[in-house]
Structure formats: structure tokens, C-alpha cells
Amino acid sequence: MDAPTVISFLFFTGLVAFLTWRLTRGRLDNTEEGYFLAGRSLSGVVIAGSLLLTNLSTEQLVGLNGDAYANGLAVMAWEVIAGGSLVVLALFFLPRYLKSGIATVPQFLEERYGPATRALTTFIFIVAYMLILLPFVLFLGAKGLGGMLNLEEMLGLGEVGTIWAVVIFIGVVGSAYAIFGGLRAVAVSDTFNGLGLLVGGLMITFFAFQMASGDGGVSEAFAKLKEEKPAHLRSVATDGGHYLHWTTLFTGVLLLNFFYWTTNQQIIQRTFAAKSLAEGQKGVLLASFFKILAPLILVVPGLLAWQVFANKGIDQASMEQGEVYGQLVRTVLPTWLTGFFAAVVMGSILSTFNSVLNSSATLFSLGVYKKIIRPTASQHQLVMSGRICSAVVAVLAVIAAPLIFLNVDGLFEKFQSLNGIYFIPLLAIVLFGFFNRTANGTTAVITIVAGLAAMVIGTFFGGAEALDPETNEVISKGWMIDAFRSGFHYMGAVFAVLLLLQFILGGFMKRPTPYVQQDAKVVDLTPWKHAKAVGISLIAIVFVIYLIFAF
């Protein structure tokens, strides 16, 4: 890595930090609503940018492109179906969330089910973010940046040492945004990074097309890929061995997408900070549009990498999924742009990292510190508890990242299977709570515990035995890991059983009075007049895209 690359990387990374500081200077409020919800002042554009950048991090850039490299266009389901889920958030979930005036999903669950459900779900969210989401983002961030900037060779620390160094660096810088800036700083920096990611990601796609096709243009690039790997260009996988077989789009894949975009605290917290329902809906629907187009950045480069590497004589036999995107960037991007794009990737990592830290702080401060530890806490003490929580979660995530994911193959698949452990039971109680007004909190707690137990068993135990390729030892992989397609169907089955379980329990475990949602009157709840029309149009686009690439 030469000096101009280093300079451009540091310059663009520092520029985002400086602009964020300038725009939020004097507006960083040390109050509960100011620190955790940006004073409920976010516009639609900022919400859309923050939603996209919180999601579009290295688990997408590196993980999903690597997944496309190995499994083809069918992996676009993680992005395109998300567009439909965001429409449901805008039209159904968001009006109800904003009506309650909540800052966290567990707050809504307390309103519906009681304090025990809030305490349990708060604990689940924080532990999952600390041991699953943040370590995954940090690890793939380290792998991606290491590959783009050739850090292993430059630092001379070896693969493991380089990963540790980059993970620590990301942890320190990302923590500064979340700990000292609050949600406003997170959202503003997300918007800047979002613009950079859009420009940089499209550049990689453009240069990858050029290098894959030679002088033949876009059609030639796809013609070569279709000749060598025809199944890679289909939006629906019909091969029985594909982990995203088309039937999974109606079970686990749909449920994971649905939870992530409608109920996951780290994603939807910025929608709680909308200045009005109309602005929130505009932001969510704008994000939906860009998610539908996201495969141009997150899937297509991975597809083209096969031909790019073949043209350049790069050995593909021993390449891991986590290495594909970094190698592709280093191969197709002109040297003078490498530093800029590395800064863009750094921004996407920081965006997700600091957003999750802010969500963890919000969950802890409002759900644990204020409710259990110190109910009489002042605004200053509440914010300080959030900052301490952010620091603790950041340190533990940095330690966990290399330890959990260093020797894992098929990273994106495994990440989704781990998410399913808590996504499925929490989605079940949220949806049931929307449509049933009489079941009490005990039904929710029992359903969560039963769901967690079922998902852990399905993920880690009970699968067919297999040999570890390195040690030749017999291992048991579990349904989720051994047969991932079956794992998605297993998620769907567990979800259906949990709904039935809570329905049965709710027949005799009832609230003293039926639940009626109260209007907290914190923002204007007048919906955007074009919300339904735009939402229906976006869902229609999803179906059209699938049909175009289905055969």
C-alpha cells in the first residue's frame, strides 16, 4: 500500500468525522430524548440514509458478495425481499410504534405484555448484539479492509494479528461516535457514508464489468458467466442442494427479513426519531427503493468476480468467501481510488458498529438502568449509563470477533442461522401482540423461552454427523448448519408452533382488561398521502425483478 492510498484513506475518513462534528456541534443533547432519539427531529432523507448505512456494512459488502460468488444471484433475496419488509414497516408497524412514543421495541412489549417481557427482550437484544452482530461486522470489516489495503503484508502481523489490529481500530473509532455523539451524530455520519458507499459501490460494479468483459461490454460479461455457471444468473434456486432453494423464500428467509426490518431495535431506532409519521414513512419507503436496487452493489460484483479472477489468472480454488470482495476491489480498482473506497468501507463498518452501540445503550439505559437499577436517575446519569454500556459492549465485541468467526466457513449463511435463534421467537410475540388484545405477559415469556430452546436445538444439535475436513473428527452440525435449506424451513415451523402455543396459552392466561394502545402524542401521526401508492408500487417492482431473472 503506497503513501497516496494511506493519505486518501485517512483524509476521507477524517472528512466524515469533521463534517459530522460541524453539523451536530451545539446540538448534542445530554437528555434522554436528545441522546437516544436525536430529539425526535430526523427528516425522511436522514432516516433513509441511516437505515441503509446501518444495514449496509461489511456483512453485506464482504459477506453477501462472497455469498453471491459461491451461490449466485439467488442470494439477492436478502436485499430485494427486504424492500417489501420495509413497506410493511412504513404502512403497518411505524404508525403503531410512533403512536406509543417509544424509544425501544422492548418498551412497546412492556406496554402490551408487562415489565417481565421488556426485561427479557432487552437482555436478549443486548447479548445478541454483543456476541453475534457486532463481532460479525468487526470480523468481516477487518477481512475486507485487510484485503483491499493489503494490510497483512504492510503490517507484517500475519492474518490473525492483522485481524486483531483492524478490529481494535474500528472498535475505538466507532465507539467515539456512539458514546460521545448519540443518535444524531450516528445518523448524520450515516448519511455522509451512505453517499460515499453508493458512489464507491457502483464504481466497483462498473470496473468489475469492464474487467470481466474485456472489450465486449455488459452483455459479454453476463454471456461468459451464463456459459460457465448458468444457475448463477437465476433469481430463484431450483437446485435441491442450494441453501436458498426457492421454497425458503416463503419460510425462514421471509421471516428473517421481516423481523430484521420491522422489529430489530438497531435498525428501526432511527424511525422512532422521526419528526412526524409522514417523514418516517418517506424515509422508510425511500430506503425500500434503494434496498431493491442494492444487488447492483452487493450481489453483482460477487457474480462478476468469477470471470474477473479467471481473466487475471487469480487462483480461485483456495479462496474463501470472506476474501472475495477485498481481492476484487484490489484487482479492479485503480490504485489512486483504493484509499477512497477503503474509507467508504470503513464508514459503512463504523455506521453499523456505532448504530448498534447506540441501540445497546438505549436498551440498557431505558430498560435496565432506569427501570431496575436507578428509577430516580437524572437525565445526566441516564446518558452516562448509556455511554458506559456502549463502552462495555464495544470492548466485549472486539474480543469476541476473532474468537467466534476466525475459522468459520460460509460466513453469511452461519450469521443468518445465528440471527434466527432470537429473531423467530421475538417476531412471534410481537405479531401475536398486534392482533391479540387479551393474552397476558406470561404467555409471551413462555413463548420466548420455548422458542429460544427450539432454535438453539435446531441450530447446534441433532443434525447428521459429518467429518471435520481438517481433523477428520466426527462432528454434529445441527439442522441449521448441516442442511441450511432445511434450517430455514425449521425456522418457519418453529414460528408457526410458537404462534399456536401463545394462542393456546392466551385462552386461559388473560390480561385483567383487553389491551388498548394509547396515543402518547409525541409526534404528528398524519400519514404521508402517497405512502400506500408508493408502497404498493415498490412491492410490484420486487415481483417484476424476480420474474425477469427467474428463468
**What pLDDT does residue 417 have?**
82
Whether pTM exceeds 0.85: no
Instruction: Round to whole Å and give the CA distance between 89 and 430.
Output: 13
**What pLDDT does residue 408 have?**
60
Closest C-alpha among 431, 437, 518, 516 to residue 99: 518
Range with the largest mean pLDDT of 28-37, 346-355, 477-486, 506-515: 506-515
Closest C-alpha among 197, 511, 518, 487 to residue 343: 197
Residue 130 confidence (pLDDT) above 90: no
> Which amino acid is present at 508?
F
Answer for the pair 174, 137: CB distance below 8 angstroms, yes or no: no
Instruction: Round to whole Å and give the CA distance between 132 and 456.
Output: 14
> Which amino acid is present at 364?
F
pLDDT category of residue 467 using cuts at 50, 70 and 90? very low
| pLDDT tens readout for residues 214-252 | 665 666 666 776 777 777 778 888 776 777 888 888 888
Distance of CA 327 to the CA centre of its chain: 23
The owner of cell 455488459 is 218
Query: Within 10 A of 489 (CB to CB), how many other CB atoms are there?
Result: 17
Instruction: Round to whole Å and give the CA distance between 278 and 288.
Output: 15
Answer for the pair 33, 170: CB distance below 8 angstroms, yes or no: no
Q: What is the mean pLDDT of the chain?
A: 80
What's the average model confidence in pLDDT over 19-34? 56
Radius of gyration of the chain (CA): 23
**What pLDDT does residue 386 have?**
79
Instruction: Round to whole Å and give the CA distance between 43 and 28.
Output: 17
Residue 319 confidence (pLDDT) above 50: yes
38 secondary structure, DSSP code? G
Output the DSSP codes for 206-219. HHHHHHHHTTSHHH
**What pLDDT does residue 30 have?**
53
> Which three-class secondary structure state does DSSP give residue 262?
helix
**What pLDDT does residue 480 have?**
43
Answer for the pair 490, 480: CB distance below 8 angstroms, yes or no: yes
Q: What is the 3-state secondary structure (H, E, C) of 495-536?
A: HHHHHHHHHHHHCCCECCCCCCCCCCCCCECCCCCCHHHHHH
Residue 55 confidence (pLDDT) above 70: yes
Phi-psi domain of 211 (left: phi exceeds 0; alpha: psi -120 through 50; beta: other): alpha
Instruction: Round to whole Å and give the CA distance between 47 and 286.
Output: 9
> Which three-class secondary structure state does DSSP give residue 245?
strand
Q: Which three cell numbers stand for residue 489?
A: 424451513
Instruction: Round to whole Å and give the CA distance between 253 and 17.
Output: 36
Distance of CA 142 to the CA centre of its chain: 17
Residue 129: domain span = 3-548
Instruction: Round to whole Å and give the CA distance between 398 and 121.
Output: 23
User: pLDDT > 90: what percent of the chain?
Assistant: 25
Low-confidence winner among 327-336, 346-355, 440-449, 518-527 (lowest mean pLDDT):
346-355
Identify which has the larger pLDDT, 2 or 467. 2
Task: Quote the Cα angle for 451-114-108, to 5°.
Answer: 80
Instruction: Round to whole Å and give the CA distance between 321 and 343.
Output: 22
What's the average model confidence in pLDDT over 407-419? 73
Report the CATH number that the domain containing residue 288 is assigned in CATH: 1.20.1730.10
What's the average model confidence in pLDDT over 349-370? 79
Q: Which three cell numbers stand for residue 75?
A: 442470494
What is the number of structural domains in the chain? 1
**What pLDDT does residue 188 have?**
64
Instruction: Round to whole Å and give the CA distance between 134 and 116.
Output: 26
Instruction: Round to whole Å and give the CA distance between 51 and 351.
Output: 10
**What pLDDT does residue 155 have?**
73
92 secondary structure, DSSP code? I
